[in-house]
Structure 1
Amino acid sequence: MIETPGFLLTILAFVLVIGPLVFVHEMGHYLAGRWFGVKADAFSIGFGREVAGFTDKRGTRWKIGWLPLGGYVKFSGDMNPASQPSAEWLSMPAEERQRTFQAKPVWQRAIIVAAGPAINFAAAILILAGFALAYGEAVMPPVAGAVAPNSAAAAAGLRTGDRVTALDGRPIDDFADMVRFIQIRAGERVRVDLVRDGQPTSVEAVIATDLQRDRFGNEYRIGRLGLLGPKPEIQPVGLLRAPVVAVQRTGQIVSMMVETLGQVITGRRSVKELGGPLSIAKVSGEQMALGLDAFVFLIALVSINLGFINLLPVPMLDGGHLLFYAIEAVRRRPLGPDAQEWAFRGGMLAILALMLFVTFNDLGNLGLWQNLAGLIG
Structure 2
Amino acid sequence: MELLSSVLGGTLGYIIPFLFVLTVVVFFHELGHFLVARWCGVKVDAFSIGFGPELTGRFDKKGTRWKLCAIPLGGYVRFAGDENEASVPDQDALANMSEEDRKGAFQAKPVWQRAAVVAAGPFANFLLAIVIFAGLFGFYGKVETVPRVDVVREDSAAAAAGIKPGDVIVSVDGTPIASFSDLQRAVSVNAGIPLLIGIDREGAFIEVTATPERREITDQFGNTQKVGILGIQRNTTADDVTVKRFGPLEAVAEGVRETWFIIERTGGYIAGLFAGREDPDQLGGPIRVAQMSGQVASIGILPLINLTALLSVSIGLLNLLPVPMLDGGHLLFYAAEAIRGKPLGPKVQEYGFRIGITLVLMLMVFATWNDLRLLISP
The TM-score with structure 2 as length reference comes to 0.86
| Structure 2 counterpart of 1:86 | 91
Moved more, 197-206 or 152-161: 197-206
Letter aligned with residue 215 of structure 2: T
Q: How many residues align?
A: 361
Contact 1:49–1:66 (Cα < 8 Å) also in 2: yes
Q: CA deviation at 1:79?
A: 5.7
Distance in 2 separating the partners of 1:82 and 1:285: 33
Any idea what SS the aligned residue of 2:358 has? helix
Contact 2:212–2:229 (Cα < 8 Å) also in 1: no
Contact 1:284–1:295 (Cα < 8 Å) also in 2: yes
Distance in 2 separating the partners of 1:62 and 1:313: 29
Any idea what SS the aligned residue of 2:260 has? helix
1:248-267 correspondence to structure 2 within 5 Å: 248-267=257-276
Q: CA deviation at 1:110?
A: 0.8
Matched, 1:183 2:192: no
Q: CA deviation at 1:144?
A: 4.5
Matched, 1:237 2:243: no
| Structure 2 counterpart of 1:315 | 324
Give the one of 283, 290, 300 matched to 1:281.
Answer: 290
Contact 1:313–1:319 (Cα < 8 Å) also in 2: yes
Give the one of 20, 35, 44 matched to 1:40.
Answer: 44
| Structure 2 counterpart of 1:334 | 343
Distance in 1 separating the partners of 2:214 and 2:79: 52
Matched, 1:194 2:198: yes
**Residues 1:248 and 1:204: Cα distance change in structure 2 (over 3 Å):** closer
| Structure 2 counterpart of 1:212 | 218
**Residues 1:20 and 1:79: Cα distance change in structure 2 (over 3 Å):** same
1:338-349 correspondence to structure 2 within 5 Å: 338-349=347-358
1:1-377 correspondence to structure 2 within 5 Å: 6-78=10-82, 86-138=91-143, 144-150=148-154, 151-159=156-164, 160-161=166-167, 163=169, 165-166=171-172, 170-174=173-177, 175=179, 176-186=181-191, 188=192, 190-194=194-198, 201-207=207-213, 209=215, 211-214=217-220, 216-225=221-230, 226=232, 228=234, 231=240, 233-367=242-376, 370=377
Q: CA deviation at 1:90?
A: 2.6
Gaps of 5+ in 2: 1-5
Q: CA deviation at 1:313?
A: 1.3
Distance in 2 separating the partners of 1:189 and 1:118: 31
**Residues 1:65 and 1:297: Cα distance change in structure 2 (over 3 Å):** same
Contact 1:172–1:178 (Cα < 8 Å) also in 2: no
Contact 2:216–2:224 (Cα < 8 Å) also in 1: no
**Residues 1:6 and 1:85: Cα distance change in structure 2 (over 3 Å):** closer
Cα-Cα RMSD: 2.7
Contact 1:210–1:222 (Cα < 8 Å) also in 2: yes
Distance in 2 separating the partners of 1:172 and 1:358: 34
Distance in 2 separating the partners of 1:163 and 1:286: 32
Distance in 2 separating the partners of 1:146 and 1:227: 6
Gaps of 5+ in 1: 372-377
Residues 6-38 of structure 1 show CA distances to partners (whole Å, capped at 9, x for unaligned) of 101211111111112211111111111111111
Any idea what SS the aligned residue of 2:209 has? strand
**Residues 1:250 and 1:99: Cα distance change in structure 2 (over 3 Å):** same
Contact 1:210–1:224 (Cα < 8 Å) also in 2: no
Letter aligned with residue 362 of structure 1: D
Letter aligned with residue 12 of structure 2: L
- Large movers: runs of 4+ above 6 Å: 80-85
Residues 289-345 of structure 1 show CA distances to partners (whole Å, capped at 9, x for unaligned) of 111111111111111111111111111101111121122222222222222222221
